[in-house]
Structure 1
């Protein structure tokens, strides 16, 4: 049982078949894209209902957008499951002693994603009972809140990777990269340093 658990854990971290790349960052793109699509579809659909260009556009356009929002929400909920499982594995892989800041960021990153999933599930269950999956006003409002939460969570996720190296520093030394012909472009353009260099503390994570 212990070996099976370790195998599953290793798989969730992306350590399988000689591949040491974390897969959470790849999986999160699906729900992160589908949630805004659902919100935007409802928003435009409501606009067509309230301010119709023609009767045909009002009927077909709004109904089609409501259906798109409904199924995008369903797809987002499904793709959230593997993203959440791999994210949970990444969370427990963070060394809290070495980097308590990264652990804290990861906690809030996960909490925001959990809140977004809760909003999406509520909207999905609510709209499945309406005609043409038309949303109530509070559904659109909650989707807007979820939209803001998603991008806040994505910011925290990027912050953890780029500042603390969460999920990537454990991979060790990779293949020697091919020389970049544009490597001196930064010097030629005199691009200033915006962010400080990664600290030694972050490199040890």
Structure 2
């Protein structure tokens, strides 16, 4: 249900400076600002994330349980990857300035940055976007449940996810050293991670 707005009230807010509303900051080139009904009380069924990224950064895999998401590229370039639950396929969309991708409500997706100085908007059809992050799912699900469910070695699983931090939002961590990889590159692999905006 959307909040009731009294547009004649002196407390109604019709403008806001997004620079004063950080959601997540990895560093000065990779951060997310949020605008929701919490920041501007005159909003009804719309909110947005103002996202700045540098090359090789990833908005971790996640889904939004309460809204669809329209991703609009302002500058730079990203690949938006969406898991289509009807076709059971991972679909990839390269966005450059002026291009958009639509992520239906509840669909698993992630975003990979292809160039430095990328700026995108994520627009939601809800007064506050909610999110379930893969990093949270990985850290909260008991390892013995995953080991038994998927017939994997529990100790190896625990070692594999040890570096995962809940609420990663923009990965990989700055101190990340990956084995079998000499330089960052983008490949179309389903990765699992993401969480709720508050």
TM-score under structure 2 length normalisation: 0.21
Structure showing greater Rg: 1
Higher normalized strand content (fraction of residues): 2
